[in-house]
Amino acid sequence: NAGVTQTPKFQVLKTGQSMTLQCAQDMNHNSMYWYRQDPGMGLRLIYYSASEGTTDKGEVPNGYNVSRLNKREFSLRLESAAPSQTSVYFCASSERAGLANTEAFFGQGTRLTVV
């Protein structure tokens, strides 16, 4: 009953380092998303993938790249981390892109600090 699994749960990076956040879902969902959560800002969409093989920019894509490796996995890469990328990152998935009544399922988050 895993749902959406994110790794790692915590990470500290130095400015300029790179890293990849991993996300996998076992619900056979088509759509997957990456959000960041900052105090007072709510959730902001970084990138999304409507279906396997497609990715699109969200509200705050600068400094990030994504890969939809297969239907299950959607990774987020920071090529050169900056302190402004200190945040909590959430991966989410939902069933059947384009259906209005399908809720999103979230992972437990990755707490990233860039020093």
CB of 32 within 8 A of CB of 93?
yes
What is the closest distance, in whole angstroms, from the C-beta atom of residue 80 to other proteins in the complex?
A: 27
Q: Is 45 in the site for other proteins (CB under 8 A)?
A: yes
17 or 75: whose CB is closer to other proteins? 75
CA dihedral sign of residues 55, 56, 57, 62: positive
Q: Is 64 in the site for other proteins (CB under 8 A)?
A: no
Amino acid at residue number 52: E
Name the residues that contact other proteins, by CB under 8 A.
4, 31, 33, 40-43, 45, 48, 50, 58, 90, 92, 94, 97-109
